Structure 1
Amino acid sequence: MLKQYIVLPAHGFRSPVLAQAAALRLTIPFAAAAGGTAALTREAMSKVEVVDSVSVDGPKLVEMTPETELELRLEEPALKIVPLITYEKMRAIYKVKRAAAAAVVAQPGQGAVLRVEDTDGNPLSGARVVAFTSFRTRAGDDGSTDANGEIRLQITPGVKLERIYVYGPACHWGRFERNFTLAAGAIVQLETIDLSNQLLALRRFRDVLPATAGDGVVVGIVDTGIDPNHPLLPNISGGANMVLEETKDDPGEIADWGPAAVEGEHGTHVAGIVGARPTVDIDLAGVAPGVTLRSYRVFPHNGGDATNYDIMNAIDRAVQDGCNIINLSLGGGEEDEAIRAAIGSALDSGVLVIAAAGNDGRKPVSYPAALPFCIAVTAMGWTNSFPAASSEAGDVARPYGGENTFVGAFSNFGPQIDLTGPGVGVVSTLPGGTFGAMSGTSMASPALAGYAAYLLGQDATILGLNGAEKSTALRDKLFGSATPLGFGRDFEGFGLPG
């Protein structure tokens, strides 16, 4: 059975060994090399197929059998072989596990109907509803409202839900309720987001930063793609579609770096947090409106997760394109040598990499944020920066700090944490020229990427440095700008910059 692997140098990111095609063509049978006498099967003797290369002397995506993979390890000890794995977006949305529960009906079309509307009674389509009959086991149902603002849940009418989360569509807050009864004609109303509210998380965090913050700095967004036509994001200078499955048969698809067709709003929201520029019609600013943004789409159009090969390739492409800072609002559960090598190479090139700590609810920091040279960011919030009944209210949890601060209930923590940033109820740009609220360490990471861009843009000395000296100096300045909020070391690291 053929499997895909990433082949890279045992040390570093590029090597002359990888430039030699012969290095990936095996000649020594595994059995003999291991001191055995058994002949290899036809499958095990098949050659290594190179699917794609980051560069001539850079990491390669290859296809081979597991037996051949073992053989290659013996044939070329100067190489490292890493399995292909995937990473997910770090937006915090609770998910249902479709466990059997008495309240969940068996037949479609028999469940309770819930209507979601605004405070004037107008239906809201596209609201994400997550209803739990048992929050501990995650039993229940979920889905999105239709054009009439309605969703039929696979839950018996009249059942009392332990919790219901409604994540608002564009321009609206969500809703959170405990012990909600799914009675006939049940309605949930959502408040409109008021951009003039001075207590909004992003507005509060950026505080008095100038509109020129980040001028001359380039930030790479490795994500689901960015809306190239959003009026608040005129500072996008381009990018690349790094999803190999979409580009390998049609190189022209590389130019398709806009939002993924399914769940593609994430990258535009992240980009706006870094560098949205307000207009006369939409008074919404990112942390560093002066930056130049670049979009590297690694999440496919089908809504699937991103592979470590595509992420690694995107990091390298961002470095080659002149990015000063790279934001990774993504994560997974395994240590990954391929992305480790890519981030290490970026730092050696003077590029700072900032990553989301993960949204697993107080579990250990996810990778790549857990890597020692990657800046890991938890998500904090202010209890008065969103409506008391919004979905964000369900994310308020200990530890608490001063001035109404807390660490989002979803946020991971641990000794690898470097900083904390606003990640609960963050209002930012969405595809289609609009805006909305999201939560997650996905939101906290770009807030700090934006702040790092502000610090870099105003420091000519650091700008003039090269290589690891530059990324280290910017990292130290970012750490030095932070103030502890009282959460404790493993929840906030050095604290909140600003």
Structure 2
Amino acid sequence: MNRYVVLPAHGFRSQTLAQAASLRATIPLAAAVRGANPAVRDAISKVDVIDSVSVDGPKLVEMTPETELRLRLEEPSLKIVPLVIYEKMRLVYEIKREAAAAVFSTAEQGAVLRIEDMAGGPIEGARVIAFTNFRTRAGDEGRTDANGAVRLRIASGTTLERIYVYGPPRYWGRFEKSFTLSNDASLQLEPIDLSQELTALRRFRADIPLTAGQGIVVGIVDSGVDSAHPLLPNVSGGANMVLAETKDDPGQIADWGPAAIDGEHGTHVAGIVGARPTAEFDLAGVAPGVTLRSYRVFPHTGGGATNYDIMNAIDRAVQDGCHIINLSLGGGTEDEALRAAIGSALDSGVLVIAAAGNDGRKPVSFPGTLPFCIAVTAMAWSDSFPSVSSEASDIARPYGSENTFLGAFSNFGPQIDLTGPGVGVISTLPEGTYGVMSGTSMASPAVAGYAAFLLAADGIILRLNGADRSTALRDRLFGSAVPLGLGRDYEGFGLPGKGST
């Protein structure tokens, strides 16, 4: 049995889906009216409805592939879409285990590397990724212990092609080429200075007031947001949209905080949109006046999010009154389920902004490829992070004005609408702290925050309804941007905030 999303052939809701409590009651009757043979009717009756976005909205069903084919023939008014998995668009260069050359059978044979602060003290929790061959992604990785040490299954004396250290909260990472491992080797990480004027988010938001975005609600469809963070008092609620967690326990819908595994991503994204600085932390999002809502689609068990959960989250955000939705996620092939959900959101006046993807100059990831979804690449300033940080490896052509470049990982193509800061972005992390991430995941919420700033300041657009509002806001956002000289397919209209606002 396979799972599929069933939705109208056109649009997001239909009377065909509303006429019965389940497809079991609807489809066989329609098939019988057209004289379908008993075998077909029997097959269609085996459609098991797992969940519905709404009574007249898309449904998650379970059936055999044979039943799916017959249902396509018998009900042309319906569209049947397989489940698709989407991933977060944060950049981390990772080892491919199948290509892990120069790896020992026992960890005790490998070299020990020490990660330290600038004073020589140990740093715990740094992620170390060592490549013996970067092209094939061969090597080993690990995290530092309380002594700042990590044992890699690579022989002492081996010269690594590349080594990346991703810092724990409050530290920049580190990047080195042609680094020779030895048991007395060490690397130092620089602490993050929140007062530094050239950091990406501070530079991007420039003179935007701390009240920017008041009255605007931004939905964060992601891995959950830490509402207890002192910089995120503007998180007003949300919903856990992971069906696997809520189906048998509806009370889990209230569990919209960070996922247990890899859950920090959503909090970082939320902070980029609307973190509010405090006396202790001088860290502001683009539009600190916004109200944030968290829609968790990534499960506690780790891994990706399904298209059904994401489309359900988009619809829930629209029903909850969000003006803007951020999608720092993406996948490969086009998915009709998300196309319908995003189209419905735009028809309701909600602007949807998505990450372009981190595949290293490959085509734009879906849903950023949709012509009505704002696709955002990741630019940066080469002087916005330490010269030896992990971000330094992402400086690449094309280069633009004012020390700008497009991150080496960022996708590009004719579907690109805008660019935003996405390399070495400092933002909030769970448990009341902050740290650095890179990716089109970071660029997308920066643009979403700027859109919120523009919408809050423009009462005429705010009073519009339906597609008129989302279209007017889109055009306003495009009009606020100017090219950096990166090229049309790399930056679209350019970087928001530099043009006429």
Q: What interval of TM-score do these two structures reach, taking the shorter chain for normalisation?
A: over 0.9
Give the conservation status (yes or no) of the 8 Å contact 1:28–1:75.
no
| Residue type of the alignment partner of 1:279 | T
> Could you tell me how far apart the structure 1 residues matched to 2:229 and 2:453 are?
22
- Structure 1 residue 114: Cα displacement: 1.3
Give the conservation status (yes or no) of the 8 Å contact 1:239–1:296.
yes
C-alpha spacing 1:40/1:55, structure 2 compared with 1 (3 Å): closer
Q: Which moved more, 1:126-135 or 1:142-151?
A: 142-151
Q: 1:183 maps to which residue? A: 182
- Structure 1 residue 107: Cα displacement: 2.4
C-alpha spacing 1:475/1:41, structure 2 compared with 1 (3 Å): closer
Q: 2:233 maps to which residue? A: 234
- Structure 1 residue 116: Cα displacement: 1.1
SS at match of 2:256: coil
Q: 1:139 maps to which residue? A: 138
Residue 204 of structure 1 pairs with residue 206 of structure 2? no
Residue 157 of structure 1 pairs with residue 156 of structure 2? yes
Give the conservation status (yes or no) of the 8 Å contact 1:240–1:296.
yes
Q: 2:458 maps to which residue? A: 459
- Structure 1 residue 316: Cα displacement: 0.2
SS at match of 1:262: coil
Within 5 Å, which residues of 2 pair with 1:443-454? 443-454=442-453
C-alpha spacing 1:187/1:41, structure 2 compared with 1 (3 Å): farther
Q: 2:387 maps to which residue? A: 388
Give the conservation status (yes or no) of the 8 Å contact 1:46–1:64.
no
Give the conservation status (yes or no) of the 8 Å contact 1:357–1:369.
yes
SS at match of 1:109: helix
Q: 1:487 maps to which residue? A: 486
- Structure 1 residue 120: Cα displacement: 1.4
- Structure 1 residue 23: Cα displacement: 4.4
SS at match of 2:203: helix
Q: 1:286 maps to which residue? A: 285
Query: What TM-score, normalized to structure 2?
Result: 0.96
Q: 1:343 maps to which residue? A: 342
- Structure 1 residue 106: Cα displacement: 2.3
> Could you tell me how far apart the structure 2 residues matched to 1:207 and 1:313 are?
35
> Could you tell me how far apart the structure 2 residues matched to 1:62 and 1:359 are?
32
> Could you tell me how far apart the structure 2 residues matched to 1:401 and 1:324 are?
32
- Structure 1 residue 149: Cα displacement: 1.7
- Structure 1 residue 144: Cα displacement: 1.8
- Structure 1 residue 55: Cα displacement: 0.2
Q: 1:94 maps to which residue? A: 93
Give the conservation status (yes or no) of the 8 Å contact 2:212–2:287.
yes
SS at match of 1:142: strand
Q: 1:263 maps to which residue? A: 262
Give the conservation status (yes or no) of the 8 Å contact 2:24–2:44.
no
Q: Which runs of 5+ in 2 are unaligned?
A: none
| Residue type of the alignment partner of 2:419 | T
Residue 58 of structure 1 pairs with residue 57 of structure 2? yes
| Residue type of the alignment partner of 1:250 | D
Q: 1:195 maps to which residue? A: 194
Give the conservation status (yes or no) of the 8 Å contact 1:361–1:412.
yes
Deviations 1:43-77 (A, max 9, x none): x5661100000000000000000000011111111
Deviations 1:233-255 (A, max 9, x none): 00010000000000000000000
Q: 1:73 maps to which residue? A: 72
> Could you tell me how far apart the structure 1 residues matched to 2:334 and 2:326 are?
18
> Could you tell me how far apart the structure 1 residues matched to 2:93 and 2:216 are?
35
C-alpha spacing 1:284/1:333, structure 2 compared with 1 (3 Å): same
C-alpha spacing 1:256/1:29, structure 2 compared with 1 (3 Å): closer
Deviations 1:371-425 (A, max 9, x none): 1100000000000000000000011100000111000000000000000000000
Residue 113 of structure 1 pairs with residue 112 of structure 2? yes
Between the two proteins, what is the percent identity of the paired residues?
75
Q: 1:306 maps to which residue? A: 305
Within 5 Å, which residues of 2 pair with 1:398-413? 398-413=397-412
Within 5 Å, which residues of 2 pair with 1:413-492? 413-492=412-491
| Residue type of the alignment partner of 2:285 | G
> Could you tell me how far apart the structure 1 residues matched to 2:172 and 2:123 are?
12
| Residue type of the alignment partner of 2:242 | V
> Could you tell me how far apart the structure 1 residues matched to 2:30 and 2:402 are?
66
Q: 1:221 maps to which residue? A: 220
> Could you tell me how far apart the structure 2 residues matched to 1:60 and 1:109 are?
52
Give the conservation status (yes or no) of the 8 Å contact 1:29–1:45.
no
Q: 1:315 maps to which residue? A: 314
Q: 1:84 maps to which residue? A: 83
